[in-house]
Amino acid sequence: MRLFAALTAGLLTALTVQGVATAQDESPAVEKPRMEAAAKNVRLRTVLPGTERAISIAFMQYGRKDVAFVSGQFGLKSFDVTDVDHPKLLDHLTNNELALPGDDPAKGFWENEDLNVDPRRRLVFMAREMSTFGQDKPTGVYLLSALDPADLRMMSFQQLHTGHITSCVNNCDYLWTTGFDGSDEKQGRVYVTDIRDPRNPKTLPVKVDLRGKPGQDKVTHDVQVDAQGVAWVAGDGGTRGYWTDGWRRDPLTGEHRRATADNPVPYAGGAVPKLDMPTSFTHNSFRPVGTRLADGPLPTKENPAGSLLLHTEEAFGDPTCKDQGRFVISSLKGTENGEGWGENPKEMKTVGVWSPDDQEGTLPGSDTFCSAHYFDVRKRIVAYSWYEQGTRFLDISNPAKPIQIAYWRPDGAVSFAPYWHGDSLFLADLSRGVEILTLTKDAHAAQESGTNVQLVTTPSKVKAGRSNGERLPLVPDPVYGRGCPMMAGRDGKCGPGSCC
């Protein structure tokens, strides 16, 4: 997994510049068989200092100042990235400042998988999972002020029965919060919170996007709003989209009514064929439409503008990613009349599937964390996190045949989430921290020519102290299982390797 390839000196430096420890680490070196670090058509620009255990990133513009907010096990940090090659730390809202009565800040914040911000009111929202600062702790959402990004402040905490991810809808007047339902009903749902007064948030007594029956422990996962305002909810049973504003026809009743954040109108979506997504669990999604149409596949007569949904299955049942945990492109056609709702939601037609399983540059082995996770799309290029399989860059111009045009799998990678920001890619890596990457001209040439890039890697033996990127000890999340890995040692129980 982590062997030095016959690469250029510059690339070698890029692959090893951000390990989990410094070269001065005095831990004894041992001989271990490893795989070559693999990278092609990608250049490392710099790293955000002190961001090891990073999970998610968001951006806001303050006049000419460009600010990145990084959420991780360390809390929340803000950086001035106006000069992207020379980022500057602005502030750190620490775990001690986020702690509630009874918390143990030393056990780390968890998890806020998809950081959301409100540029209009300069707010940051962080979802708090039940394993934050220990086990069986309160879940909910922090509302934070970033009016001055160099002086982050907590405004309020809204306790909910879930707290995996919180997302803005309706111009951030409302939050949709998703995850495991910790109420007595234990039924998958979206929790809706009115945050028009962020110091006094109000969670509404509604049940949006119900999944499964009470007691089945179904979950909703991420919510992503497309350029037309449709909120796409991923989770058990597939991905479904909702109008949250305007007068719409409700396909489930046939009536025309006003869509609101607490009473949305179904739009389209449904399940994915078991052959393509065996677990029926979708992690997150993107619909290229409107101002984002040029980021998605080229529209065709068969797949017209707005008819495609890109989404992910997160699953670790197959460590090679051969049968589970893949990237799927689905057609929404035939699901616009409520077919995706009910106990047996209609399956969308699969247009394309991609996995690193049969691609060069991929780690073999039965114990590798291999699953699709977050992705971001820009100019028909999908940047894709695959945990220990690194970050892959796919050209999706032809949705039926995604091709790999570049990849970044450096030493000790645990790629969680990539974010396009201008021409740069900010990558949240749980082990290495936030790396800022850029594609080389060869990546764009590969996209133009439709060339699938390859790099053969072979096992080797290297000095494998922690300074060379010892494998991060990941264990199944106590709530979500192997569908959501977390660091070992958070409760005093160490997994393989060292406790965090």
Average pLDDT over residues 399-418: 93
HSE, side-chain direction, 13 A CA sphere, residue 70: 36
Tell me what pLDDT residue 153 has.
97
Would you place residue 399 in the very low, low, confident or very high pLDDT band (cuts 50, 70, 90)? very high
Per residue in 71-92, pLDDT (tens digit) is 999 999 999 999 999 999 999 9
Average pLDDT over residues 318-335: 87
Nearest to 224 by CA among 67, 115, 383, 348: 115
Measured in residues, the chain has a length of 500
Q: Are 169 and 155 contacting, i.e. CB atoms less than 8 angstroms apart? A: no
Q: Are 384 and 377 contacting, i.e. CB atoms less than 8 angstroms apart? A: no
Average pLDDT over residues 366-374: 79
Residue 222 tokens read as 């991420």
Residue 245: count of CB within 10 angstroms of its CB: 18
Would you place residue 269 in the very low, low, confident or very high pLDDT band (cuts 50, 70, 90)? very high
Tell me what pLDDT residue 457 has.
56
Average pLDDT over residues 140-164: 97
Q: What percent of the chain has pLDDT over 90?
A: 72
Would you place residue 142 in the very low, low, confident or very high pLDDT band (cuts 50, 70, 90)? very high
Tell me what pLDDT residue 72 has.
97
Q: Please state the separation of Cα 234 from the chain's center in Å.
A: 12
Q: Are 392 and 404 contacting, i.e. CB atoms less than 8 angstroms apart? A: yes
Q: Which domains does the chain have, with CATH numbers?
A: 9-487 (2.130.10.10)
Tell me what pLDDT residue 36 has.
65
Tell me what pLDDT residue 498 has.
30
Q: What percent of the chain has pLDDT over 70?
A: 84
Tell me what pLDDT residue 434 has.
98
The values of phi and psi at residue 229, to 5°, are: 95, 10
Residue 438: count of CB within 10 angstroms of its CB: 14
Q: What DSSP state is assigned to residue 20?
A: S
Average pLDDT over residues 208-218: 93
The values of phi and psi at residue 442, to 5°, are: -70, -30
The rounded radius of gyration (Å) of the Cα atoms in the chain is 22
Tell me what pLDDT residue 358 has.
64
Tell me what pLDDT residue 454 has.
75
